[in-house]
Amino acid sequence: MKIISDIEELRDQLSGQLRTAFVPTMGNLHEGHLSLMRLAKRHGDPVVASIFVNRLQFGPNEDFDKYPRTFQADVDKLEKEGVYVLFAPTEKDMYPEPQEFRIQPPEDLGGTLEGKFRPGFFNGVCTVVLKLISCVQPRVAVFGKKDYQQLMIVRNMCRQLALPTQIIAAETRRADDGLALSSRNVYLTPQERAEAPMLFKVLNEVASEVRAGHLDIFKLEKHAVHKLKKRGWEPDYISIRRQFDLQPPMAGDLAKNTPLVVLAAAKLGSTRLIDNLEI
């Protein structure tokens, strides 16, 4: 596996490749990330991964400096997966001058859910993803469904900007007890780790109620939030949305069985967890 930090060197290395599959990450790789590499391999060749902790998507009170960085362990894992190139730029490589041009997603998609609680987050995500795609120029790029809103925003951005990159969605990988795999799970204490699967359990309960025909959306969301609060969580939201645009479902959507998704974000101790479940 070649490790490259310079953008021009990366482009030279990939020159002439027409089927490149790309998996962008922020490192601290776990089995969820590695499953993305395997999916990428089924959709293209060669596979290029990136590791870059993107300062632009961290808010002023968020954990940029604390974000876990495990570069050598990540390299070992990617080599075992047969990744061809690891693009590992420094901040100076990615942002040699102030990044004054930014990509702003539409408010109805980027300003809700995560965008409401993390202002500027998707601005930073879209800007770095567009820049990474420009560097790698892949035919396909793989994003996980765990970050469901991010997946939808990136997919829409690529379509509207006519980028020649197809976005492939990968299913969320989970531990045996249901907890979605996440780099931030390392922040959980043993007691919090034992409690953490409750988030997915609550999402399953909400989904079961919807499938059973209980369509008072507001009541279902409120009950789910209350259940987590009683167990010591601090929920930001539990919200039922339409899959295709992440807007709240209307009565007609419920009658027509429009595909829905229930999304959640909640703090457990000092760790903020997100998850979702398609309905």
The H helix count followed by the E strand count for the chain is: 12, 9
Tell me the one-letter amino acid at 141: A
Closest by Cα among 145, 166, 148 to 44? 166
Residues 6+ apart with CB under 8 A from 276: 145, 146, 148, 172, 203, 261, 262, 263, 264
Q: What is the rounded end-to-end Cα distance, in angstroms, of the chain?
A: 40
Which 8-state DSSP code applies to residue 186? G
Is residue 33 among the annotated active site residues? Answer: yes
Q: Which of 30, 33, 43, 214 is catalytic?
A: 33
Q: Which residues are catalytic?
A: 33
